Amino acid sequence: MKVRKAVIPAAGLGTRVLPATKSMPKEMLPIVDKPAIQYIVEEAVQAGITDILVITNRGKGLIEDHFDRVPELEARLSGSEEKREILNDVVNIAHLANIYFVRQKETRGLGHAVSCARDFVGNEPFAVLYGDDVILGEDPVCAQLIRAYEEFGLGVAGVKEVSPEAIQKYSSLKVEPVRDRIFRCTDMIEKPTPDQILSLYSILGRCVLPPEIFDILDRTPPGAGGEIQLTDAMCTLARTTGMIAVDFEGTRYDMGNKLGIMQAQVEVALRHPQIGEAFRDYLKEVAAKL
C-alpha cells in the first residue's frame, strides 16, 4: 500500500532551549527565513505525502497559524509588484498538503503522541517525522524510507551511527547488513546503558510504520523516563515481524539543542541564494577577528 500519510509529533516542551521556547514552540524557531517545522513538512510533501497530522499541545497555536491563510498580510503584499514572489511563498504554505492538528492532552512520551494519530491513520502505513529533527539533502529522507517500506513491506527506521557517548541518549539497534545502507533490524533499546548497547546505529528522527503499531502501543508500558516510548513499540515489531533500518543520506539538525539550532542557521544561511555569499564574507571577517 502506498504511503500517503505522515505524523509529526510536535508536543515537546523545548526545555533544552529555554528561555527561547517559553512562549514560542521550538518547531517555530527560524532557520534563516522559514520555521523548522516548515522544512519538515516540505520534506514529507517532496516524498509524496498528501496528508499530514501534527501532534501539538497547549501553547502551540503558532504552528497552526503558520499553515493557515493570512488575508490581511496577503492583501498588503499583493499591492506591491516587488513583493509578488514573497506573496506566492506565503500563500503556498497553506497549500503544501492537507494538514491537520490534534492536541496531546498529556505529555506522556513519543509513543503516546503517535497513538493520538490512530483515527487519522486508519489502516494505512504512515511516516513519522520527529518535530525536533530537520534533515536536509537532495533525496528526502522520508522518500528513502518509503522506498524501503515499499520494497520489503516492513516497518522502516531511519538510522545513523553515533558516538558511544551519544548512543546512551538515543536508542541502539541490533542490525544485520542487507546491502549498501540497508539493514535488517531484529532488536532495539531506548537509552541503553553501556552493557546494553547493541550497535552504534540509532534511530534519528524518521520512521515508516505499519498500522499494527497502534495495537502494540496500547500494550506498551511506560519505559525510559516513565513515558510511553515509540522505540519500545518498534522493538516489539522488530522482534516479531522484523524491521528495516536505512542509514539515510542527509544532514540532520537537532532543533531541540542549542548547538544544533546554530549549526542549522549557519549552514543553511551559507547556501541561501539571497544572503549566502554575503554571509560567508561576514563569517570570514568575524573569524579573522577572533
- Residue spans of the domains in the chain: they are 5-256
Per-residue pLDDT, averaged over 111-137, amounts to 95
pLDDT band at 14 (very low <50, low <70, confident <90, very high): confident
Domain 5-256 adopts which CATH fold? Spore Coat Polysaccharide Biosynthesis Protein SpsA; Chain A (3.90.550)
Output the nine-digit C-alpha cell for 192. Answer: 541503553
Average pLDDT over residues 122-130: 96
For the stretch 175-206, pLDDT in tens is 999 999 999 999 999 999 999 999 999 999 99
* Average pLDDT score over the chain: 93
